[in-house]
Amino acid sequence: MTAPPHETLTVLLIEDDAGDAFLVEELLGEAANPPKIIWARSLKEGRERLTEDVRCVLVDLSLPDATGLEALEQVLSMAPHAAVIVLTGLNDTHVGTEAVAAGAQDFLVKQDVEARLLVRAVRYSMERKRADLAQRRLVEAELLTKENSRLERGLLPVPLLETDELEHQARYLPGRRRALLAGDFWDTVQSPDGAVHVVVGDVCGHGPDEAALGVALRIAWRALVLAGHTGNELLRVLDSVLRLERKSAEIFTTLCIATIDPTLSHARMHVVGHPPPLLIRDGVIGVVPGTPSGPPLGIFQDVSWSPIEVPLGHDWSLLLYTDGPIEATVGGGPDLLGTEGLLSLVHEHGGVHLDRLIKRVIELNGDSLSDDLATVHVSRGGKR
């Protein structure tokens, strides 16, 4: 019938007339692979005898405990994953239309049913039900994907930057396919005193748990900055947040934090187990010296991170990034781009042009980056 040769299809027949039940059993018995039929004389009995093996329900609309569309609705409710065929003595086209509209896969009049028609109706009804369930799962998956995308977009940062003296760009590329969030994160906040605070961070690992942890750390960082906290005080709180929120004790996080003073001519940085930022100043392109300030968050207890004082002057450009770009391969081989390779690309392009820089890194890698990427570029005085 509709079951594989080595399997027996199970059909639930809800019919109070013994003669009609016998007729249905005889007709289905003529199938190439006859089904197992469970006969129930009422809805109550049908509910009691319904099993997970039932793939199709044949139901009369004149039962002792329910009639008409009420009987159908109760069957649809109690057997949502089974095909439902209305088998009735009511030769009423209007009732049949209403039954199908209510959710039945087919409507058959007892007087018109013969073996081939009934077997075919069961087969087609089960296929229609399978298609309906597949379509429903697809719609639910699409809705869930859209909901997740809206949620992830809402968790991405919007920089709080009021000064017109700085140019600010950020790029964010999760390594996970079809994801908007990753364990890497960034944020930029200007505090009431005019200082500009920038962070990029990298939670080790890949996946939704790491992405959630990255969001938690970013939001915690923003709240602490807005509350006036900086330096080791801020880092120790972030370290506590990481330890409380992480799923495993092996998970750590690297950070690079820059606090640019209100004059925009000096920065204090903390490079917490993170790749060194790039600095363009007085025509010289290089890495910020004195890095790192100390180990990543989440590894050692009672750590102090050394601040790095960086004179900026009037014209300067600062690039903070996670390790996605420098861990890209070169020419498809085992060699990584590295910090020196990133510096060479900045020289090649005459400064930091984020889109061109990232495009070139992907070209050298020979494919999309497998690691997450978060970059923030801040410049003053037209320096790129």
Instruction: Quick: pLDDT tens for 161-212.
Output: 999 899 999 998 886 655 567 789 999 999 999 999 999 999 998 888 888 8
Percent of the chain at pLDDT above 90? 51
Unique residue bearing structure tokens 């820089």: 357
CA-CA distance, 359 to 214, in Å (whole number)? 25
Write the pLDDT tens digit of every residue in 329-360. 887 667 888 999 999 999 888 888 899 999 99
Write the pLDDT tens digit of every residue in 83-120. 999 988 777 677 888 888 889 999 888 888 888 898 89
Q: What is the mean pLDDT of the chain?
A: 88
- H or E element: which one contains 173? strand 166-173
CA-CA distance, 214 to 179, in Å (whole number)? 14
CA-CA distance, 197 to 161, in Å (whole number)? 9
User: Residue length, the chain?
Assistant: 384
CA-CA distance, 138 to 127, in Å (whole number)? 16
Place 273 in a pLDDT band, splitting at 50, 70 and 90: very high
32 to 35, 127, 222, 225: CA distances (angstroms)? 9, 18, 69, 74
